[in-house]
């Protein structure tokens, strides 16, 4: 008993990390559901990164006029099939410039083919600046401006980040404008599906019984229809003289006609599961009114699941739009969407000559992947109480 300290077994001392974990748990006891969801979502690294990408895509869509350095419709036969302009930091004397720049170009007629060929004119530097004046535009059709996020000041300088198309239009600017339609058609389509889905799914799950059985059969029937021919048929039936807006909304409606079924099933499943929860019965026995049970107990419990399901439905819509437009049955010129842009990459010659025309396809891949990972993360975080 003389040396008490020596008798202390090493494992009786609480190590640091456990204390820390305890500290965290105490804080969690007052953590709101949304905070718990955030904690759980945060653990899903890929989803967090994807969320950033998704937000960037929607920012680009919202401020397309400002972000695009050029007017997407500005044609110039001289600029046809320009390859992506290189951005430089070192000038011809090897001197480093902090501000990136592009070289000027000189055109030389090839004496053999008589084609106009371009070469960098390394003596002229066009620095890339932020907030430069360029092509005039109307922001959201309202605010007149000619200030772009970035660009080169000289209107004659060739500045095509992703090259140009046959008419000499800047592909980068067109992709930026295409983001607006492609990303929003998914969102609007999903919102429409959501309205149909939540009504039908809610009715099915809440009432159950015969109503549920009938609606489930309807959903199964709709889901069993082959989507591509259906879309093709419906899209082909759209009058060709409709405006971009009319076509845009018709396509959205066509896409949601199928899309709502998945959401209806999610809503129904949650509603059915919730009906069995003891806390719903406890609320009923506590005298809580039906409306309050639905609004305060049921809706918050399945809202997060619905948002996750919605996020996962957006990429399907984007792909569907792209596919339809690519086939020439969705949006058409002069609308700009990724699908419409990809139409230009349809023939082999232009792909061989100007492979950068496939860039809109890359955007589709990026956006669909990002939305899917983001949705996965949301789905996992939707119920933070289940361990």
The interface region with another protein, picked from 63-71, 88-96, 289-297, 374-382 by CB under 8 A, is 289-297
**Interaction between residue 4 and another protein (CB under 8 A):** yes
- Radius of gyration from C-alpha coordinates of the chain: 28
Instruction: Give the shortest CB-48-to-another protein separation in angstroms.
Output: 16
Sign of CA dihedral 131, 136, 141, 143: positive
Contacts with another protein by CB under 8 A: the residue count is 46
29 is a site residue for another protein (CB under 8 A): yes
The stretch among 12-20, 102-110, 123-131, 250-258 that binds another protein (CB under 8 A) is: 12-20
Shortest Cβ 296–another protein spacing (Å): 8
Question: Which of 256, 261, 301, 372 is the binder for another protein (CB under 8 A)?
Answer: 301
- In the stretch 198-237, what mask flags binding to another protein with x, by CB under 8 A? -----------xx--xx--x--------------------
Q: Are 84 and 163 in contact, with CB atoms under 8 Å apart?
A: yes
Q: Which is nearer to another protein, 35 or 140 (CB)?
A: 35
Question: Percentage helix, strand, coil, to 5, in the chain?
Answer: 60, 15, 25
Kindly tell me which residue out of 3, 21, 142, 348 binds another protein, with binding defined by CB under 8 A. Answer: 21
Report the distance separating Cα 192 and Cα 257, nearest Å. 9
* Among 31-39, 107-115, 128-136, 339-347, the segment contacting another protein (CB under 8 A): 31-39
Among 59, 282, 295, 365, binds another protein (CB under 8 A): 282
Cα separation, 80 vs 169, whole angstroms: 7
Reference 92, options 123, 58, 55; nearest CA is 123
Q: How far is CA 251 from CA 61, 83, 316, 322, in A?
A: 19, 33, 14, 11
Rounded to whole angstroms, the Cα distance separating 86 from 53 reads 24
Q: Which of 83, 288, 351, 368 binds another protein (CB under 8 A)?
A: 288
DSSP 347: S
Least Å distance, CB 215 to another protein, is 12
Q: Are the CB atoms for 88 and 81 separated by under 8 Å? A: no
User: Of 154 and 383, which has the nearer Cβ to another protein?
Assistant: 383
Instruction: Report 33-92 residues binding another protein (CB under 8 A).
Output: 33, 36, 43
Q: Is the peptide bond before 38 cis (omega within 30 degrees of 0)?
A: no
Is 142 an interacting residue with respect to another protein (CB under 8 A)? no
Q: Strand pairing of 116-139 and 143-152? A: antiparallel
3 binds another protein (CB under 8 A): no
């Amino acid at each position: 008993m003389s040396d008490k300290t020596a008798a202390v077994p090493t494992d009786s001392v609480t190590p640091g990390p456990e204390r820390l974990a305890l500290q965290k748990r105490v804080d969690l006891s007052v953590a709101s559901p949304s905070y718990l969801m955030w904690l759980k979502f945060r653990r899903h690294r890929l989803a967090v990164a994807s969320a950033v990408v998704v937000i960037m895509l929607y920012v680009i869509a919202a401020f397309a006029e400002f972000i695009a350095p050029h007017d997407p419709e500005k044609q110039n036969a001289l600029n046809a099939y320009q390859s992506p302009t290189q951005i430089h930091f070192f000038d011809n004397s090897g001197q480093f410039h902090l501000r990136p720049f592009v070289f000027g170009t000189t055109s030389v007629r090839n004496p053999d083919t008589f084609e106009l060929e371009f070469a960098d004119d390394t003596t002229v530097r066009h620095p890339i600046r932020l907030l430069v004046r360029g092509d005039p535009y109307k922001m959201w059709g309202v605010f007149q401006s000619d200030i772009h996020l970035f660009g080169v000041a000289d209107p004659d300088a060739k500045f095509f980040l992703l090259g140009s198309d046959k008419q000499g239009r800047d592909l980068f600017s067109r992709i930026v404008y295409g983001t607006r339609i492609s990303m929003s058609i998914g969102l609007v389509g999903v919102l429409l599906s959501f309205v149909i889905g939540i009504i039908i799914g809610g009715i099915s799950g809440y009432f159950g019984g015969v109503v549920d059985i009938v609606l489930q059969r309807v959903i199964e029937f709709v889901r069993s229809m082959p989507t591509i021919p259906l879309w093709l048929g419906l899209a082909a039936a759209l009058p060709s003289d409709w405006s971009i807006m009319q076509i845009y909304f018709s396509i959205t409606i066509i896409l949601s006609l199928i899309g709502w079924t998945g959401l209806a099933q999610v809503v129904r499943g949650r509603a059915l599961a919730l009906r069995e929860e003891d806390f719903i019965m406890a609320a009923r026995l506590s005298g809580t009114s039906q409306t309050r049970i639905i609004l305060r107990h049921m809706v918050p419990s399945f809202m997060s699941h619905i948002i996750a399901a919605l996020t996962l439905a957006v990429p399907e819509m984007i792909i569907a739009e792209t596919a339809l437009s690519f086939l020439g049955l969705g949006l058409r010129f002069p609308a700009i969407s990724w699908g419409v842009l990809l139409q230009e990459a349809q023939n082999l010659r232009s792909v061989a000559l100007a492979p950068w025309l496939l860039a809109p396809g890359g955007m589709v891949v990026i956006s669909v992947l990002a939305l899917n990972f983001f949705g996965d993360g949301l789905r996992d975080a939707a119920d933070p109480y289940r361990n």
